[in-house]
Structure 1
């Protein structure tokens, strides 16, 4: 979730429309010009204005937050719908939610706008909660091991590209005007409609067919469509081994993910990378960006903010190529360290801004650096690394709980950041610096490198660590007992 003023330039236009629909007078008394029949100036009662402001704030807050709430709720259904319908059919089915949600927002002016927008965002949130789990799951399962990270990063690339397009189209002379904003809100439905038809051309996940359904020949046909004439004997052998492992254990539930020592460590890693992404401070950067550009003397800060969106997209493209060369873990750590340094520099720049005017330029450069480091590591990697950490059996449940964690953190940041920013002022970035330092330590000691490893190899590594953790204390106790008997 990014700064709404930066991402949606038409935000104030929609708020003004809410005011008109709800019959709420402008909050600024200087903008009010009411007269009685004798031409005398009159003002609404202050209490009435406060009630109107509270009502507007309530509806607007609900319009913003309902999206993340929808994502939180639907993320739990990722595993169920993915296993029940299959990866491709599940993505086809949830696309209907996107089309309906965006259609409601696009038709907002033909009914009670605030109700239609809230309903549309809720349904779109349900869609995003499902698709943000199904897409990485599908991409991870169909990708060759050597390209799994690069193809997984494309999910984040699609997100930032969508943000950039919305920034450009949201300019007031395009679709950000009072007349055109419903079209901007409903435009995402066109992308969902296009995806609906393109998914009809996509093969089902061979791993799902082979391991979950036991359709060996159909899985081989889908694998041939994906790999062409390349030898897939090794992949078939990996799937067979994974299938045997899955057959030896019961269905993995969310509860078992936390109770089983074999899964506990990868679950903790999966949850922490989601927390890293949302609590990294990227929201704070976008929140302050427009003000920083204004102080730096930029005449049209909205264009500078779009420039940040361009950098956002360009470095996500670069991450596509870096992730398979440098590895996930090292790239993730490098991104966190860069963001940590940028957060400290941003704090210095904002604190000294009133003393040294040139500090505004330092802050402006730091905005771009922070975004760059985010997009080469903490931005794209959490979306696909969860699918890499688990074998076919526990993967759907793991992606569901990781998605819920991501959306919950998204909601918390959206609801609480404004209060933290008001409390801490420019020092808010030191809060994120402390968090980033903790994330660096956790990643260094706990997150494994998954580059070039099969799903079974990654799972086996966690199982070995789990057994070592259990055997360690037991071995120490036996050794102490042996020493005691020798002394006796």
Structure 2
């Protein structure tokens, strides 16, 4: 295991570089020199947004939407799926399935999603190095996106609940890949001043996907006894759409120069005024890759802070994402993450108080307010920030491996919480939120002392924040915290329902 991690973490040797560019023009009013490429429609200036850039980002975020859709779609048809399991069991064994076995099959159908996600996220490192960016995105978008939908869609026709489980496994593989590829791609093609704002698009796509799944899962739409297979297979549509659009998306200039050594193609991907500065930064980053030992720990810790915070049952509220979209480049990633963690900790304590004082009628309203605040603070920081800040903490060389390890930690925490959470509720009752609050306080302290601010900084400037000391622990904490957050809402519903 240790050897495998070493293979992932240490980057490849730097690629040979051609002579540096001539110096940039001394005056901004001077005409474009002949040695610089013509203006590119992709990134014409350091802070402008073009239609081509928005098209590329929107196409990439379709993968995030699929992640959200497949996360939320399994909840609505639960009773229909249990009935299908029982019917299939009756046809095979001529007797009804026992409640314990039915629950086991159902739990396995849900949890297998996280297993696929773990494998998919850890595969990002391999796929990212073996193919160009658009090809890396195209492969998982083409096959798993369609096959897994067909597997679940035809499960009733084939009378096979194993097809549902297999479909969920492939779903997780697909989503695991895109939780690493999408933030990495978005971070590399976005202008530095807008990288934080665009970085929230991944989480926005996730919550929109969850919202779509919740709406389509209504009984009057696709959540009926006859239409639930269509609900599960509907994910084929965005997969096909993404396959059509991805070939028109560009590779990032950073990937072209550092990974493929295609300097001229990389120059075409930058604007006239930014060409010299961006290309010099990329070359310096490539030259430092041989001695790069950067903060893998921060990446993993950020993802853990997202998954260990208890938000799973209520993360389909997307209002906070829009606020984060405008705040992240003003307040900064670190500030918003700290504010979100602190607010969630206070909200968790407030929910504990409401459950302990449940005999008072007013506490029911306070509990609703506490849950809403919990979700709002989650979407302000711990929701979107861990996904894109990981891509900012690493240079081009170790970035794919770091995204793979951080994403795998996120999915691992997701799986662990999914299995342990029911027992935590049973053992702790209303005090279960104290566990979440303790984790949130721990991640707050870690973020305050270890996580640097990356707002408005280039990748090279961010790397200088760590000096020569390796800080691989930082990413692990942020991922663990997120998964605990994902389940606080569910605990509130279960504990409050049991108490009343």
TM-score bin (small chain): 0.7 to 0.9
1:320 maps to: 325
Could you say if the C-alpha distance between residues 24 and 374 of structure 1 is closer, same or farther in structure 2, counting changes exceeding 3 Å?
farther
Could you say if the C-alpha distance between residues 178 and 433 of structure 1 is closer, same or farther in structure 2, counting changes exceeding 3 Å?
same
Could you say if the C-alpha distance between residues 368 and 232 of structure 1 is closer, same or farther in structure 2, counting changes exceeding 3 Å?
same
CA offset at residue 347 of structure 1?
A: 0.7
**Does the 8 Å CA contact 2:72/2:213 hold for their aligned counterparts?**
no
CA offset at residue 282 of structure 1?
A: 1.1
Count of residues in Structure 1 that have an aligned counterpart in Structure 2: 402
Could you say if the C-alpha distance between residues 440 and 218 of structure 1 is closer, same or farther in structure 2, counting changes exceeding 3 Å?
same
Alignment of 1:87-106 (within 5 A): 87-95=133-141, 96-106=143-153
Distance 1:281 1:124 in 2: 22
1:15 maps to: 82
Which protein, 1 or 2, shows the higher relative CO under an 8 Å CA cutoff with sep ≥ 6? 2
2:266 maps to: 219
1:59 maps to: 105
Q: 2:200 aligns with which of 145, 150, 153?
A: 153
Distance 2:432 2:462 in 1: 37
2:410 maps to: 406
- Helix, strand or coil at the partner of 1:172: coil
Alignment of 1:437-456 (within 5 A): 437-456=441-460
Distance 1:66 1:322 in 2: 36
2:55 maps to: none
Could you say if the C-alpha distance between residues 384 and 67 of structure 1 is closer, same or farther in structure 2, counting changes exceeding 3 Å?
same
CA offset at residue 378 of structure 1?
A: 0.1
**Does the 8 Å CA contact 1:24/1:53 hold for their aligned counterparts?**
no
1:273 maps to: 302
Could you say if the C-alpha distance between residues 128 and 170 of structure 1 is closer, same or farther in structure 2, counting changes exceeding 3 Å?
same
CA offset at residue 7 of structure 1?
A: 7.2
| RMSD across aligned positions (CA) | 2.3
CA displacement 1:224-279 (0-9 Å, x = unmatched): 5xxxx653321111111112222x45xx8xxxxxxxxx33xx11111111110011
Distance 2:448 2:455 in 1: 15
Q: 2:368 aligns with which of 361, 364, 367?
A: 364
Alignment of 1:69-468 (within 5 A): 69-95=115-141, 96-224=143-271, 231-246=274-289, 248-249=290-291, 262-263=293-294, 266-283=295-312, 286=314, 309=316, 312-353=317-358, 355-466=359-470
Could you say if the C-alpha distance between residues 433 and 11 of structure 1 is closer, same or farther in structure 2, counting changes exceeding 3 Å?
same
CA displacement 1:90-122 (0-9 Å, x = unmatched): 110011212111121122211134111101111
Gaps of at least 5 residues in structure 1 are: 26-43, 253-261, 287-307, 468-488
Q: Which moved more, 1:318-327 or 1:236-245?
A: 236-245
Distance 2:433 2:196 in 1: 30
Gaps of at least 5 residues in structure 2 are: 1-66, 472-500
**Does the 8 Å CA contact 1:4/1:11 hold for their aligned counterparts?**
no
Distance 2:339 2:284 in 1: 35
**Does the 8 Å CA contact 1:346/1:363 hold for their aligned counterparts?**
yes
**Once superposed, which parts of structure 1, at least 4 consecutive aligned residues long, lie more than 3 Å away?**
1-7, 464-467
Distance 2:466 2:72 in 1: 43
2:12 maps to: none
Distance 1:206 1:83 in 2: 15
Could you say if the C-alpha distance between residues 378 and 24 of structure 1 is closer, same or farther in structure 2, counting changes exceeding 3 Å?
farther
TM-score by length of 2: 0.77
CA offset at residue 466 of structure 1?
A: 4.9
Distance 2:270 2:439 in 1: 42
CA offset at residue 222 of structure 1?
A: 2.8
CA displacement 1:181-230 (0-9 Å, x = unmatched): 11111111211111111212110111111011110111122335xxxx65
**Does the 8 Å CA contact 1:329/1:447 hold for their aligned counterparts?**
yes
CA offset at residue 464 of structure 1?
A: 4.2
1:33 maps to: none
* Greater helix share, structure number: 1
**Does the 8 Å CA contact 2:119/2:173 hold for their aligned counterparts?**
yes
| Structure number with larger C-alpha Rg | 1
CA offset at residue 5 of structure 1?
A: 9.1
Could you say if the C-alpha distance between residues 240 and 6 of structure 1 is closer, same or farther in structure 2, counting changes exceeding 3 Å?
closer
CA offset at residue 357 of structure 1?
A: 1.5
CA offset at residue 53 of structure 1?
A: 2.0
Distance 1:172 1:370 in 2: 28
Distance 1:362 1:4 in 2: 28
CA displacement 1:368-414 (0-9 Å, x = unmatched): 11100000100000101111001111111111100110000000111
